[in-house]
Chain A
Amino acid sequence: MDMHRQTLTELCAGLDKGDFTSVELTQTLLDRVAAQDEKLNAFITVTSTEALAAAASADKARAAGNIGALNGLPIVHKDIFCTEGIKTTCGSKMLDNFISPYNATVVQKMADAGAVILGKSNMDEFAMGSSNETSFFGPVRNPWNLECSPGGSSGGSAASVAARLAPAATGTDTGGSIRQPAALTGTVGLKPTYGRVSRYGMIAFASSLDQAGMITRSAEDAARMLGVMAGFDERDSTSIDQAVPDYLAGIGESIKGLRVGVVRQHSDEGLEERTGARAKDAIAVLESMGATTVEVDLPNIDLSVPTYYVVAPAECSSNLSRFDGVRFGHRAENAEDLLDLYCRSRGEGFGDEVKRRIMTGAYVLSAGYYDAYYIKAQQVRQLIADDFKKAFADVDLIAGPTAPSPAFKLGDKVDDPIQMYLNDIYTIGANLAGLPAMSVPCGFVDDMPVGLHLVGPHFGEEMLLRCGHQYQQETDWHMACPEAFK
């Protein structure tokens, strides 16, 4: 089979067997990127030279018997991860000139495991967006329909995996930024438990919600990636010191007896009917495999979007203060004075959505509004987390649709932030509660893929991956490839 059509797991076996070298594989994919990415705009930076050098040394290491978990496997990093000596833009004009002097922990761990970086993927500016349209570098197009959005913010990562330009990509998820684009592109997206993967070197959007994860073609590939990415990092105080299990070990076990929760309160309002039906079908497949379904209550879940849009902007308004034109990034020319330097550097460097969130955030934190908005939101956040905790007393995981509809047309929602925000209605709860969650492809609506959303309890990644993998033994939605990218 053509190399580009193989999953990470298959490529890993191919390299092990000597069917091809990492240099051959890397060159094949680089050629594909060169030929196909014009249509998609999934890459901000392609690192051909570095990739081929890394592939050569991976081949050498392999020959010497030194074989890392991702040895010689090409992947893509979302351009939110700092990569030493390589431009790291976060999708913003603000960082268009920023060459990171260091590697994010995730980047370093993957490099240590032998991974080869093909490039940096396009994304919504500072990960703020659900359609990839806020990127300074232009929108990414959905490989299933080039007029559609691939979702966001990890849209470039999702599109590159869906279009078989790369077998796997890293992503980050603050409110659904891995899972929603995975659903909209027919790929697998996993957001681990908050604290499972180090945030060091991942440019912060909303620190208490941001979590790194991956977009892959199968749950098994996600397990392979997570084993490398996860783990305590002393440079991230919020990373959790807990042993990393072998995520591949239990993946083959049956899901017989698995208790799957279905949320009673998830309203059908705004849910495209057939998208909801595909999720129900998928749950029925799980039942046919021996799982049982239980209705669970998440009484406050309808408050998750407003809660998120207080907490996330509040944190982002502060996190993005460091982009002031003084030490790095965009600096306005001919500033008259300090204030002018600040105002124009930021005014020119940030796009509209980023500005909207900074202003919202500054507002909810300001004197006189802090209690009414920020404190209240934190209290609601706690209630939502408590609801999940209660629900997980009765079920092993919670299932439903990932996004309320399949991919929408580029331009359709860009002028209506509220409609855009509602795209994350099913995914945001997991971020607020710090829970692991995954989207797996579960069918098509009008030839566009949709996803099944699985949420687990804290550190429930093994179960999510097992459930996803078992589902993918019964179904082949994840094997579907967009016609134009076969």
Chain B
Amino acid sequence: MSVAWEVVIGLEIHAQLATKSKIFSGSPTAYGADPNTQANLVDLGYPGVLPVLNKEVVRMATLFGLAVSATVARRSVFARKNYFYPDLPKGYQISQLELPIVEHGEMHIIGVDGMEKRIGITRAHLEEDAGKSIHEGLDASSGIDLNRAGTPLLEIVSEPDLRSAKDAVTYMKKIHTIVHYLGISDGNMQEGSFRCDANVSVRPMGQKELGTRAELKNLNSFRYIEKAINIEVERQIDLIEDGGTVVQETRLYDSDKDETRSMRSKEEANDYRYFPDPDLLPVEISNEYIEAIRATMPELPDAKQARFIDEYELKSDDAAILTASRMLADFYEGVVKATDATAQVAANWVIGDLGGALNRDGLGISDSKISSDELAGLVDRIHDDTISGKIAKQVFEAMWDGEGSADDVIESKGLKQITDSGAIELVVDKVIADNLGQVAEYKAGKDKLIGFFVGKVMQETKGQANPGQVNQMLRDKLK
């Protein structure tokens, strides 16, 4: 017999905060430097050194807390998590345990079933990242790169409110969008700036108690998260249905084999011996501070999307695409402000041609080869009938290739639309004269042939004739 299973997922997202220097030292945080070139004595955990909190991380965490309607703690405390590992120089990680800076937040997502769901955010706390061990290229020994040690992280812990791998991805993408909007994380998943652990369990549908969970570690792409959760859910269901029981443990997802495997069980788990770090004072935050941060809060994705629909009368799908990133939204609004065309036309261009070109060249909106003003210049030429929409695509490609502004391209390539009715009439007359057979058919009632004549005229004018004008003139002449 087969029971229906309910999947229960909670995510712990690690977002690297985009500070210039580390959380407790003055070392830079830039990615990709030579090993150990961005680690000073504090990062190396030298005898006698002390941590000093980078205040910028408090601002960033506060901003995040406010963005997810959470309580920002007036007093939070850094604690030491003690364990030995070569990439952990002090033998402890400075984190927050009992009194995190952010608690009781929430986020709403649209689930796979199309319903809106509330996902609780239990807490978000500040901590330092560890370094990394290097095994490649070293003969029978290991190296340690401590550049990353002390990089500030915000660990965002959700309630076990997610019910499918897809929802988990939706939630994570939304957090990703928000931290990016807030400017507190670059969210770069390849560089490990945004990654998550997933707590996954299953239970028979309707059961109240949670099943035993496994923790999937270090998932660093949206695709892997979905695959890893699904494969883990499958494993747990198979195991239970075969009469086994799930054990609480940490598992790793192997993307090559598409399987999860045990890393360490609960029995082997460390006792981290947390206690408040005596080197750091509690972080005290005043109401005034919180209000000052709130005043700097940018418009968030949901609000922006709603405004785009309302203010620009965009289709909801288009509004969602355009607000997926703050920079794209800003770009779009730049086009709207600079053009005389409608906001929807601007949206079509940003999403369609510009989006396509970016996609094709693997670029982000910040790398766009055409600025919002330049794109507005192009859209305006369609709007004022200088060129047709079809010619505009040609102009766009030329602009993308660096051939100048829309006007430059139109001028240099001679693409200006022919609106001189005398000139169009000459061509129309020629097309009628050359195609007398079709003229006869048309007059006999085959109306559809009008498209054939328009096409011929456009062909003769290399697309530069105003299609509306051509259409009207043909109908008049063929009456």
Contacts and interface: CB of A to CB of B under 8 A. Distances in A.
B82 A365 contact: yes
B50 A324 contact: no
B51 A237 contact: yes
A263 B89 CA distance: 45
Contacts of A90: 47
28 contacts: A82-B47, A82-B48, A90-B47, A104-B48, A199-B50, A200-B48, A202-B48, A203-B47, A203-B48, A237-B279, A314-B275, A315-B275, A318-B82, A318-B91, A318-B273, A320-B91, A321-B91, A322-B45, A322-B46, A322-B89, A324-B84, A327-B89, A328-B46, A328-B47, A329-B47, A367-B273, A370-B273, A374-B275
Contacts of A98: 47
Task: Sort A-B residue pairs by CB-CB distance and give the 9 closest, nearest first.
Answer: A321-B91, A365-B273, A208-B278, A207-B278, A201-B48, A322-B45, A203-B47, A82-B48, A322-B90
Interface in B27-70: 41, 44-53
Interface residues of A, number: 45
B50 A200 contact: yes
Interface residues of B, number: 28
Contacts of B48: 81-82, 100, 104, 200-204
Contacts of B195: none
A321 B90 contact: yes
Interface in B238-289: 271, 273-275, 278-281
Which of B82, B144, B281: most chain A Cβ within 10 A?
A: B82
Interface of A: 81-82, 88, 90, 95, 98, 100-102, 104, 199-204, 206-208, 234-238, 314-315, 317-318, 320-324, 326-329, 338, 342, 362, 365-367, 370, 374
Contacts of A322: 45-47, 89-91
B323 to A, nearest CB: 40
B442 to A, nearest CB: 87
A203 B50 CA distance: 10
B23 to A, nearest CB: 13
B45 A235 contact: no
A321 B92 contact: yes
B467 interface: no
Given A238-B281, A314-B275, A321-B92, A200 B49 contact: yes
Contacts of B50: 199-200, 235-237
Contacts of B84: 321, 324, 342
A191 to B, nearest CB: 17
B80 interface: yes
A314 to B, nearest CB: 6
B86 interface: yes
Contacts of B278: 206-208, 238, 315
Given A101-B41, A321-B82, A326-B144, A235 B52 contact: yes
Interface in B73-96: 80, 82, 84, 86, 89-92
Contacts of B89: 322, 326-327
A199 B281 CA distance: 14
A101 B274 CA distance: 30
A95 B271 contact: no
Contact of A102 (B41, B86, B91, B275): B41
Contacts of B46: 100-102, 322, 327-328
A387 B117 CA distance: 54
A234 B52 CA distance: 8
Given A102-B46, A322-B89, A374-B275, 4 more contacts: A82-B48, A88-B47, A365-B275, A370-B273
B279 A238 contact: yes
Contacts of B91: 318, 320-322, 324
B275 A318 contact: yes
A362 B91 CA distance: 13
Contacts of B44: 327
Contact of A95 (B41, B47, B80): B47
A237 B281 contact: yes
Contacts of B274: 365, 370
B47 A237 contact: no
Contacts of B144: 326
A367 B279 CA distance: 22
Interface in B289-334: none
Nearest to A320: B91
Contacts of B49: 200-201
Nearest to B25: A235
Contacts of B281: 237-238
Max count, chain B CB within 10 A of own CB: residue among A95, A207, A329: A207
Interface in B150-195: none
Nearest to B86: A326
A90 B281 CA distance: 26
A236 B24 CA distance: 11
Contacts of A342: 84
A3 to B, nearest CB: 32
B275 A237 contact: no
Contacts of B273: 317-318, 362, 365-367, 370
A234 B278 CA distance: 16
A104 B281 CA distance: 21
A102 B47 CA distance: 10
A323 B45 CA distance: 9
A202 B48 CA distance: 5
Nearest to B273: A365
Contacts of A204: 47-48, 279
Q: Indicate the member of B47, B53, B275 with the most A CB atoms within 10 Å.
A: B47
Nearest to B281: A237
B41 A366 contact: no
Interface in B207-223: none
Scoring B44, B278, B281 by chain A CB atoms within 10 A of each residue's CB, the highest score goes to B278
A318 B80 contact: yes
